[in-house]
Structure 1
Amino acid sequence: MNNWAHAAAHGADVMDELVQCRECNVDIIKEILNAFKKILHNGKYIFHTEEDERICRVVFRIKTMHYDSTLGLINVIFNEEEKLNRFLKTDKELVENQL
């Protein structure tokens, strides 16, 4: 396994904590999303130890953390994702803790 690729998973965990900070603003969020774009479009490595799942969790949090009106959409997503994602319980807990 490429160490840099798995570092993406750990980096995503850090970014997940960062986006929840009061000091995190739109500029920081844009930087995070640009960094993820570079990681995902590396052209050399296929993620296979769920690094992409941990990156997606951060993006999911960014889209939903400031919008109360997204709860209906979130429930639809969880109902469909339940068939595919073994981390669903963790994702549901993240949203419930945000509200």
Structure 2
Amino acid sequence: MSYLILSIVILLIGILGIILNRSNLIIMLMCVELVLLASTILLLFESRVLYTLFGQIFAIVILTVAAAESAIGLAIMVNYYRLRGTIAVRASNLLRG
């Protein structure tokens, strides 16, 4: 039961971080990672309770997607910083065509 509470707390921290912090892209990316981590913990808890491997398989898939998302997001931020000199969200309206 403690895994369920831990997952809910991490999910709420991630969602609140996304909602409250709209100025720094790195912190927003970290909060998205927290949301994915919370779903992974919840799937692992479900897998342990129901004695199935589906939760563990989906957890591995989520971790793989999270790693790819993090790498691509950081690469985009590095290139954006090289072009604009800042990674502030307020300056990202220049990306619109």
TM-score clears 0.5: no
RCO higher in structure (CA 8 A, sep ≥6): 1
Which structure has the greater CA radius of gyration? 2
Q: Which has the higher helix share?
A: 2
Q: Normalization by structure 1: what TM-score?
A: 0.37
Q: Normalization by structure 2: what TM-score?
A: 0.38
